[in-house]
């Protein structure tokens, strides 16, 4: 005599539940990493834009007036700060300056810096 049982066993239900939980957890992890990566990329893009903005202001400044700035907050941009370092590279004359604009941003896990470097020459003496 063969009996046919309708329905699922407890073991089958537990295995199906485990597979569902693993799938949902994996999808949640992937989405959260994607959101973090997008946020990080947006922060980097904004840091580069803020550094370029300062770099353009320096390029519009008279050569003799180009000076460094200590690290300080950027007005209107919470979590961002900026510094400017002006040096004369070794082996160059006084008509040449290296300018490094560094933007710092708080990522929640710490501070990340994004430097931009340019060289400025005093073209009026040439």
Domain of 98? 10-125
Rounded to an integer, the average pLDDT of 24-31 is 87
* Residue 28, in any domain of the structure: yes
* Residue 51, in any domain of the structure: yes
Q: Give me the chain's average pLDDT, please.
A: 86
Number of domains in the chain: 1
pLDDT tens string 66-118: 999 999 999 999 889 999 999 988 887 788 899 999 999 988 788 999 999 99
* Residue 1, in any domain of the structure: no
Residue 47: its pLDDT value, please? 92
* Residue 63, in any domain of the structure: yes
As a whole-number percent, the residues of the chain with pLDDT over 90 amount to: 41
**Residues 50, 83: Cα–Cα separation, whole Å:** 11
Give the pLDDT band (50/70/90) at residue 125: low
Q: Is the pLDDT of residue 13 over 60?
A: yes
* Residue 62, in any domain of the structure: yes
* Residue 52, in any domain of the structure: yes
Q: Is 85 helix (H, G, I), strand (E, B) or coil?
A: strand
**Residues 120, 102: Cα–Cα separation, whole Å:** 17
Task: Tell me which residue of 118, 50, 57, 119 sits closest to 79, measured CA to CA.
Answer: 50
Helical segments of the chain, H only: 10-59
* Residue 113, in any domain of the structure: yes
**Residues 126, 114: Cα–Cα separation, whole Å:** 33
Give the pLDDT band (50/70/90) at residue 28: confident
> In the structure encoding, which two tokens stand for residue 41, read together?
């990329």
Residue 9: its pLDDT value, please? 84
Whole-angstrom Cα Rg for the chain: 28
Give the pLDDT band (50/70/90) at residue 33: confident
* Residue 3, in any domain of the structure: no
Looking at the DSSP assignment, which residues form a beta bridge with residue 85?
A: 100
């Amino acid at each position: 005599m063969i009996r046919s049982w309708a329905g699922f066993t407890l073991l089958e239900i537990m295995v199906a539940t485990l597979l569902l939980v693993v799938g949902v957890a994996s999808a949640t992890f992937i989405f959260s990493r994607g959101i973090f990566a997008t946020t990080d990329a947006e922060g980097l893009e904004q840091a580069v834009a803020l550094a370029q903005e300062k770099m353009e202001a320096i390029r519009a400044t008279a050569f003799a007036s180009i000076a460094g700035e200590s690290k300080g907050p950027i007005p209107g941009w919470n979590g961002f700060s900026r510094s400017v370092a002006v040096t004369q590279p070794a082996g160059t004359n006084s008509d040449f300056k290296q300018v490094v604009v560094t933007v710092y941003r708080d990522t929640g896990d710490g501070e990340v810096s994004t430097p931009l470097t340019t060289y400025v020459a005093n073209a009026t003496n040439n």
